[in-house]
Structure 1
Amino acid sequence: MLTVQQWLKRSARDVLDESDEILHVKYQLIYTIGSQRPVDAGAQRWKTIQLILELVKKNAEDVARNYSKDISYEKSLRSSHFPSFRLLSHQPFRSLAERIANDWLSEQSYRQEERQLLLSFILETNASIECLNNRFSQDILQRVLILRGLLSSEVLFVALTKRYRVNFGVNPNPKFNRRMAVPFRAKDVAAENTEFGHPDSAIVLTQLFYY
């Protein structure tokens, strides 16, 4: 039986019908199996997401002022804390995403033409990576792809619609033995044996929980 299982693991392929739906960031991964592996880009992914959350924090008050009916916002008492910031509708997200992308690019040393290429790729889902190949290093492409996932693929939007300690949090059960954010079923009630299916969602919500 073990031999058959090993052969299937080497030779078989999973075919997912409606993969765009079942692999969507809003769904949860239940009863994970297999050995743990580091997420693609490793620590760089965590640092990039942390930087993006800093830019969310920087722009949160202005965006909340412009979309007061679509955002729940409360300024944090400490400068080191992330404010209470939750999107109540999709309307403000485009403005927030544009601010984040422009702020991130302003911290980089690119020519105007390169900035426009990167900005278009980060914000537009139909932009092709072929326009960036052979113009930027793999490290830059990796970070740009992370930003694209957060902004144009709306991973960040999904995360910012969730309520702290109601829709996500860290499982307090000592048997769980993990410090990553997981889905919650109700206030302070973790959904047992579940994780967020998208790694960037898990990283964003974990950082929001602790900060």
Structure 2
Amino acid sequence: MTNSNAPELNTALLIDGENISSTWAGRTITASAALGGLLVKRAYGNATKIKGWDEAPGIRLVHTGAGKNSADIALAIDAVDLSYSGRVQSFILVSSDGDFSHLATFLRERGHRVLGIGEDKAPLAFRKSCTDWQTLEARPQDLHQKILAELRKQKGGILINKVSPTLRVSLGVTLSDLEEKSWRKYFEKRSDSFVISGEAQQTRITAR
């Protein structure tokens, strides 16, 4: 028996997995519910570089290899294909990359509603290209706890020049997500949670 109250599956959720951390998976699904049932839920990126999207419930990870901009291109191709298929009425583009403003504009010209979801750093041009926009915002304390938990996994600490690539891969966190202008300033401000030892390139960060 068909459930007459079930939402019509006419929305595509397309995620730039190399730009948005999988920690936002739940938030994107929740935001998507307002547009109707999700026919397509895909995240795009190099599966060897992005963590968590392959485990996000209901989201299919599309492995796009290591080519430059390959994730962006694959996402855009799928969006155009879905538009012409006639099966999708609304699109949700999840990224903070301003290059997707062109795709959002194209989809709107085709008569689709486009919800953009991204971080606060997303360019204004991309936001205005979408029908609606939602900003992903992490509370500073939540972000700090995630960083602390991740660095506690580094037995014996981690060299400061390894912090950025480690947290980018594991959490999708970069300096642009922080108020501080450098990782050193971030750790110095939180001396109750981290110990800084050594100098220059041999500076080592240890989580308490």
TM-score when normalising by structure 2: 0.25
Structure with greater strand share of residues: 2
Structure with greater helix share of residues: 1
TM-score when normalising by structure 1: 0.24
| Greater relative contact order structure (CA < 8 Å, 6+ sep) | 1
